[in-house]
Amino acid sequence: MNKKTLYLIYIFSALLSLIIIETIYLSSEKSMSSALVEKKMAFVELVGLPDLAISTEATFVRHRSLSDIFSIYKDDGTLREYFPSTYAISHSHIINPVVIKRDNEK
Amino acid sequence: MKSKINIYLIEYAINAILRQKSKSFFIVFVFTLLIFLLTSVFFITNSIRYELDSTVDTLPQIIVQKIKAGRHYDIDVDAVDNIIEIAGVSDAVARVWGYYYFENAGVNFSVVGIEQYEKQYKNSFEKIADKFDLSDTESNPSMVVGHGVKKTMHQSYYKEYFNFIKPDGTLKKVNIAGVFDADTQLESNDIIVTSKEIAREIFDIDEAKATDIVVKVANPKEIPMIVSKIKSIYPDSRIITSQDLKVSYQNIFDYKSGIFLALFIVSLFTFFIIIYDKSSGLSSEEKREIGILKAIGWRVDDVLKEKFYESFIISFFAYILGVGLSFAYVYIFGAPILQNIFVGYSQLKTSFELPFIFDAQTLFLVFFLSVPIYVAATIIPSWKVATLEADEVIR
Amino acid sequence: MIELKNIIKRYELNKNDIVTALDDINLKIKEGELVVLKGASGSGKSTILSLIAALSKPTSGEVVVDEKKISKLPDNFASVYRRDNIGFIFQKYNLIPTLSVKENIILPLVPLNPDANEVQEKLDKVTKMFNISHKEDSIVRNLSGGEQQRVAIARANVNNPKIVIADEPTANLDEKLSLNFIEILRELKALNKTIVIATHDPLFFDLDFVDREIQVHNGKIIL
């Protein structure tokens, strides 16, 4: 086997082992342990509000699951809506949930 | 012929790659960048979804909001009594919460009012806050705040307490009794938890009104039925069930939304350029080389095998490099710059420490979107040349 | 052993421009013969070589080598035929300049995925025979013209072919190197290989070990 093929094999092995090491490191350090999940669940149960605090710039992004049509469509200078995070995070689609038929009532 | 892998062919392929050092380097660079970008975005969105899904089951089963003119309005607290009487409802609680805009820092806090003496809350607090003491609201109004809130207040020189500006212009001083655990940052960063009375005072919400009503149901299967009953009593209400929340979580990254559209367009564009370059035919040098190989006895299959090795080495190398870099970028360094798309202009930034999940699906998807296409784009023009008469090509 | 029967080869340059390279050629070459095809450039001698090596197909007629009709062989089989039977020395050598001498010489063997020992054996044999073993690891583009030619000859012989074909082998060489080449030819003839050379270099005329000289003019053989 010639030098070049050997180098190639070394490089590929190095890269693959890098990924494997990264994966092992990350799953032990950065993945969600059950203790962590418990804490998060306890918090959410306490507060009762959905959605993450990653972006707080607009109400229909911050608590998007609970937001109304008004907050999606209105303009307000101080609350600064319509900005970058809405490029990634879409507003909730449950603004008008299914209308309940009431023909067997009243 | 011992093993199936032809080492000589691989060596020839490596030599061919090194023969065009700058071109090969350029392709590897562009590919790696593309794969890096794609996988980074996928990793971030996957992790955010994972984070959301981890707590989705603790969310309220039914939330009742009052909608007036398309806008979320305060609901009457009396509604609680009516709702509790519906068969199947085990509990209904009126909530007071909202957004407080802190002008100095240009920041929105989410203020949530709770009944502080409920036993369940005491236990929950122990798990998630450093120190707290929400007793005695009259003489010692206090709140527990998220990490980001504490930091923001600190930066505005509010260390032990904070002055809320009430709607009538007067100040309400509230002590900071505790800070939520940093581990819950992604959920708690901008949240202030205080007693219902203080929340009512800050927002000037009457005792008879509430922001919304949370309903607990004994048998989750009965939720749709109870929802229709509530709707019939309060036709102007908007009811959000835990199922709706789950669906909403799934829709958070709408594939029609800006970021995915931009990403796919960039990818397609880059691909198109590379593949156009490759498939618009080989240079006369490359054609001659294939002709020579055929003349000295290489079959078409041998030529294609060599081209396959060449393109696979380049694209697979770029793939692994891109993915490896992406792992480190997203999970170790918190995706600087890219996170700004998700965080936006928010002044209250979280640490963007996302949970790690190994998503094989994403990795396969990106692999099949890149490597086979590049290999095909290389092999097809080579095949066209290799099937010509060798004589034509050499002369 | 090599037989060309009623060969006509036409090239279509564009719609109305058809060039007849060979016009009803009939040729027989026995095993072990050294044949020189004489003629000016464009006379069609290179085309005859291409046909023998199955590098191109005749417009009509048959090429038979060792009782096999090679003119109708499908592409892959033609390649295998070349690999196993033909050693072609091109006018421009057609070496890969960025590879080493060794890598160029073993090129015909690469698709076979041979044993490393076998490769070394074959390599040693031809590098010794053509006096290029001291430059095995040099990069081809750094070699002189004569050395490059020896590499081309070594490559053509690495698979021990029965038929050696050379197209204007001395066109780019000075007299000394041309004479060297003729000596190499003598050695190859001694190994009983069938050799066909196309040239208009007068050095090849009236050589003692040449069996036949064939004059080619305007696509026809002149006896």
- Which domain-ending residue is among B187, B210, B233? B210
pLDDT band at B126; cut points 50, 70, 90: low
What three-state secondary structure class fits B160?
A: coil
Task: Name the minimum distance, in Å, from the CA of C179 to any CA of chain B.
Answer: 26
List the chains bordering chain B where 3 or more Cβ pairs fall under 8 Å: A, C
C32 with C194: CB under 8 angstroms? yes
The residues, ordered by sequence, that sit 6+ positions from B119 with a Cβ below 8 Å of its Cβ are: none
**DSSP secondary-structure letter at B4?**
S
- DSSP lists the bridge partners of residue C17 as C14
ipTM score assigned to the predicted complex? 0.89
**Helical spans, DSSP H, in chain C:** 45-52, 75-85, 101-105, 116-129, 145-157, 175-190
Q: Residue C87 pLDDT more than 70?
A: yes
pLDDT score of B120: 52
* Cα→Cα distances B197→B114, B158, B194, B206, B320, Å: 9, 22, 8, 10, 56
Q: Nearest to residue B65, comparing CAs of B37, B105, B94?
A: B94
Distance CA B196, CA B206 (A): 11
Task: Name the minimum distance, in Å, from the CA of B289 to any CA of chain C.
Answer: 8
Indicate whether B241 belongs to any domain: no
Indicate whether B296 belongs to any domain: yes
Indicate whether B228 belongs to any domain: no
State what percent of residues in chain B have pLDDT above 90. Answer: 37
- pTM here is 0.85
Asked if residue B341 and residue B268 are part of one domain, the reply reads yes
Domain that holds residue B385: 7-54+253-394
Asked if residue B333 and residue B205 are part of one domain, the reply reads no
State what percent of residues in chain C have pLDDT above 90. Answer: 31
Distance CA B254, CA C151 (A): 63
- Hey, which residues 133-172 in chain B have their CB within 8 Å of chain A? 146, 148
- Hey, which residues 9-28 in chain A have their CB within 8 Å of chain B? 11-12, 15-16, 18-19, 22-23, 26-27
pLDDT in tens, C157-201: 999 999 999 988 888 788 888 888 888 889 899 989 999 999 888
CATH numbers and ranges of domains, chain C: 2-222 (3.40.50.300)
- Hey, which residues 196-235 in chain B have their CB within 8 Å of chain A? 212, 214, 227-228, 231-232
pLDDT in tens, B296-337: 889 999 999 999 999 999 999 999 999 999 999 999 998 888
Asked if residue B388 and residue B257 are part of one domain, the reply reads yes
* Cα→Cα distances B376→B18, B30, B247, Å: 20, 18, 39
Asked if residue B45 and residue B85 are part of one domain, the reply reads no
pLDDT score of B305: 93
Which among C55, C99, C119 has the least Cβ separation from residue B390?
C55
- Which domain-ending residue is among B182, B210, B238? B210
Give which of C81, C94, C140 to mutate to test B binding, by max B Cβ within 10 Å: C94
Which among C57, C107, C115 has the least Cβ separation from residue B296?
C107
B56 with B245: CB under 8 angstroms? yes
Position B229, amino acid? K
Query: Is B8 in the C-facing interface, judged by CB distances under 8 Å?
Result: yes
Asked if residue B262 and residue B376 are part of one domain, the reply reads yes
Indicate whether B132 belongs to any domain: yes
Distance CA C74, CA C62 (A): 14
pLDDT in tens, B10-28: 999 998 898 888 888 988 9
Q: Residue B75 pLDDT more than 50?
A: yes
pLDDT in tens, B177-235: 888 888 888 888 999 988 888 899 999 999 999 999 999 999 999 999 999 999 999 98
Asked if residue B200 and residue B80 are part of one domain, the reply reads yes
Chain A contacts of B181, Cβ < 8 Å? 39
Indicate whether B222 belongs to any domain: no
Q: Counting every residue, how long is chain B?
A: 395
- Which domain-ending residue is among B150, B180, B210? B210
How many interchain CB pairs under 8 A, B with C? 87
Q: For residue C142, how many other CB atoms are within 10 A of its CB?
A: 12
Query: Is C99 in the B-facing interface, judged by CB distances under 8 Å?
Result: yes
Q: Looking at the 3D structure of chain B, how many domains does it have?
A: 2
pLDDT score of B318: 94
The CA-based diameter of chain A, rounded to the nearest angstrom, is 88
Indicate whether B247 belongs to any domain: no
- Hey, which residues 68-107 in chain B have their CB within 8 Å of chain C? none
* Cα→Cα distances B309→B12, B369, B371, C95, Å: 9, 18, 12, 21
Query: Is C80 in the B-facing interface, judged by CB distances under 8 Å?
Result: yes
**DSSP secondary-structure letter at C15?**
T
C5 with C22: CB under 8 angstroms? no
